[in-house]
A and B are shown apart, each in its own frame.
Chain A
Amino acid sequence: MIRFSEEWLTQFSGRVAKEVPVPMPANLKESVMWAVRQRQRVSEGQKRLYYRIRICAAACLALALLMGTAIGVEGSDFQAGKNDAWILEVHDTMDGFIGRLNTGFNNLVSEKDSSRNGR
C-alpha cells in the first residue's frame, strides 16, 4: 500500500498540471455532474426500494400477528365449545337424575294407591 503525504501530493499535482499536454475537455464538468445526478437518482431509488421493502415487511408482520390473534380467538371458541359440551353432558346427567327421581316418585305413589285400594 502506497501512502502519500499532503506535501508530496501538492508538489506532485503542481508538477503534473504543467506536464500533461492534452487540456481537459470543456464539457467534462457537465459529464461529471450528469453522472453525479444519475448516481443520486439511483441512490434515491434504492432508498425508496428499501422503504417499500420495510413497509411490506411491517405489513406482513402485522398480518401474521392478526392471523395469530384470530387463531387464538378460534382456539378460545373451541375451548368454549368444549365447555358447552361439558355443560350439555351435565344437563343430560341432571335430566337423567330428575327423570329417575320422577319415576321413583311415580312408582312410590302408585304403590301407595294400590295398597290403599287393597285395603
Chain B
Amino acid sequence: MSSEEYLAELFDRYGSLVWAICYKFTNDYFEAQDLTQDTFLSAFSHLASFDGENERAWICRIATNKGLDYVRRAQRRIEPADETSLLALLEVGKTSVEDEVIEQDMRQRLYEACCSLHPPYDSVAVDYFCKEMTAAEIASARNKKEKTIQTQIYRARAMLRKIWKGA
C-alpha cells in the first residue's frame, strides 16, 4: 500500500474526528478545514517516523498540537497565551440542544456568503461549500478542466474567508 493510499484510509477512519478537534479549537468553518488539511499533511510527512501503534492517539496528538498552535497564534495577536488558558479550551462541555440551530445558522450564513460572490465564483462556491460537491464532480457537470475548478475554488475560498471574518 502506498503512503497516499494509507493516508486516504487514515482519513476515512479519523477524518471526522480530526475535523471535530480542529473545529473545537478554531470555531470557524474555514479555519477548521485548513487545520484538518494541515493535520493530514503533517501526518503524511511524518509517516516514516510513525511506529504504527495507536494511530488514533497519534493523529489526535497532531490535530491537538495544530489546534494549540492555532490558538497560540490567535491569542498572541491579543494577549500572551498561558498554558492554563489553552487547557481551558480543551474542556469539553455538554452537548448543547442548540447544536442543530447553530449548524443551520452556519449553513445559511455560508450560503449567503457564497451567493454574494461575483460570477463564476458564486455558483462554484455554492456547489463546493454548500452542496459539498467535489472539484471533479463540478468540473464534469460544467464540462471544464478540474484544475480550472480547483483554481476557482481556491479564489472563492479566499474571498469567503474575508467575508466570514468581516461578518
Contact = CB atoms under 8 A, between A and B. Distances in A.
A6 B37 CA distance: 22
Interface stretch (B11-19, B112-120, B159-167): B11-19
Contacts of A25: 33, 129, 132
Interface residues of A, number: 32
B80 interface: no
6 contacts: A16-B21, A22-B102, A23-B19, A29-B12, A29-B15, A35-B41
A10 B60 contact: yes
A114 interface: no
Interface string B75-87: 0000000010011
A36 B41 contact: yes
Contacts of A6: 54, 57
Given A17-B16, A22-B32, 19 more contacts: A9-B64, A10-B57, A12-B92, A13-B20, A16-B21, A18-B95, A19-B24, A19-B92, A20-B19, A20-B24, A22-B102, A27-B128, A28-B19, A31-B37, A31-B135, A32-B37, A34-B150, A35-B41, A39-B41
Contacts of B74: none
Interface of A is mostly: helix
- Residues of B contacting A: mostly: helix
Contact of A23 (B16, B33, B96, B134): B16
Contacts of B44: 36, 39
B133 A37 contact: no
Interface string B115-146: 00000000000001100111110000000000
Contacts of B16: 17, 23-24
Contacts of A31: 33, 37, 135
B36 A28 contact: yes
A40 interface: yes
Interface in A55-75: none
Nearest to A33: B8
A2 B86 contact: yes
Which one of A17, A27, A37 has the greatest number of beta carbons of chain B within 10 Å?
A27
Contacts of B136: 30
Given A19-B93, A24-B15, A33 B7 contact: yes
Given A12-B64, A17-B16, A37-B4, A27 B92 contact: no
Contacts of B32: 22
Interface string B1-35: 00010011001100111011101100001001100
Contact of B40 (A16, A24, A30, A32): A32
B73 interface: no
